[in-house]
Amino acid sequence: MAQTSRLLSLDVMRGITISGMILVNDPGSWEYVFAPLRHAHWNGFTPTDLVFPFFMFIMGVSMYFSLRKYNFQWSAESVKKIIRRTVVIFLVGLGLNLFNHLWNNGFSNFEHLRILGVMQRLALAYGIGSLIGLSINHKYLLHTAVFILIFYWALLAITGSLDLSPESIIAAVDRAVLGETHMYTDTMADGTVIAFDPEGLLSCLGSVAHVLFGFYVGKMILDYKKDVEKLTCRIFIFGTILTFAGLLLSYGCPINKKIWSSTFVLTTCGLGSLLLALLVWIIDINKKKNWTMFFESFGINPLYLYVQAAVLATLLGSFQGYVYNDVFVPLFGNYGGSLAWAIFFVLLNWIPGYFLYKKQIYIKI
C-alpha cells in the first residue's frame, strides 16, 4: 500500500493478533490456563477465539491492497502470484506440522501426520478469496460473502452438522479427502474421542466469506483515505451491523469457531471492524502512537514471527519446563506462572521482530 494511504493502525492490529496468537498457544502448562485464554469447547467464544479470526480479517484487508496493483484483473502475473503464495503458505504450515512430528516421533508414524492447520487455513482462504476478488464486480462483494454464509449455514443445518459428531459433513469430507489418521482429534461431551479438524476443508467456506468482509473494508479504506474520520465512522457502522447480526442469528446458527460457522464469521468480523475503527481513531486521527512500537514490530512480519514462535515452542520444551516449574511457579503460582511463561515467550519472540523492525527488513512470501 502506498505510504500516503497506509494506516499505522493496520500494522498495529495485525501485531496485536499475532502476539495474541503466540500468547494463547504457549502457556507454561495446559493444565493451568485462565478461562479467557482458553478456547470455547464448542459453541460460544472467548477472547482467545477472536485472535485468529481477527488476523484473517486483516489478511482480507491486505488482500485488497495487494490485488489493487493488478487492477483486480485476471492476468498471468496476478494468478501466478496468488497460486504461488497459496502454495508456499500451505507448505510452510505443513512443514511446521512435519517439524513437530519429527521432533516428537522421529522418522516414524507418518500415517498420523496432521495435514491441515492454521497456516493451511490462511492459505486456502487467501487463495480462494483472492480469485473471487479478481472475478466479481466489487459492488457485489457483500452479496457474495452473504451468499456463501447462507449456503454454508444451510448445508450444515440440512445435514445435521452443527454439533460435534463423527457424522458431521465437515468430518466426513476431511476423512474422505485426508484420511482419519491425518486429522486433528476432539472430545465429545460423553468423552468419546473423534477425528474432527477445526481447520477442516469444508469449514474453509466460512473463512472465504471472512476474508471477503476484510476485502470490503480494504476497499472502504482506499475509498475514504482522504477523510479518515469519515472512514472511521463507516468501519464502525459496518462492524456494529455485523456484530449484532451475528449475535441475533446465533439463536438459529450457533457461534462456533471449530466449524467456523456463519454467525462466527459475522460476529468476529464485526468485532474486528470495531477494533480497527477504534485503533484508527486512536492512532491515525488522534496521533496517540507512543505505545504502538511493540505491536508494530509483530505486525510488519506477522507470518515469519508466527512460524518462528511455532519452531521455538518445539525447541524450548525442556527449557520451558525448567523456567515454568522452577522459576515462575514459585513466584506466581500455577496459573500465574503459566501466564508468566506465555508473556515471557511473547517477549522472546518480539526481540528478533524488533531487530527486523528497526532494520526495516520485511520478510514477505
Residue spans of alpha helices (H) in the chain: 8-25, 48-68, 76-105, 118-135, 141-158, 169-177, 204-223, 228-249, 262-279, 293-299, 302-315, 317-323, 329-358
- Which residues partner with 185 through β-bridges? 195
pLDDT digits (tens, 9 = 90+) for 102-150: 999 999 999 999 999 999 999 999 999 999 999 999 999 999 999 999 9
Residue 1 has pLDDT above 50, yes or no: no
Residue 6 has pLDDT above 70, yes or no: no
Band of residue 317 on the pLDDT scale cut at 50, 70, 90: confident
Its pTM surpasses 0.85: yes
pLDDT digits (tens, 9 = 90+) for 261-302: 999 999 999 999 999 999 999 999 999 999 999 999 999 999
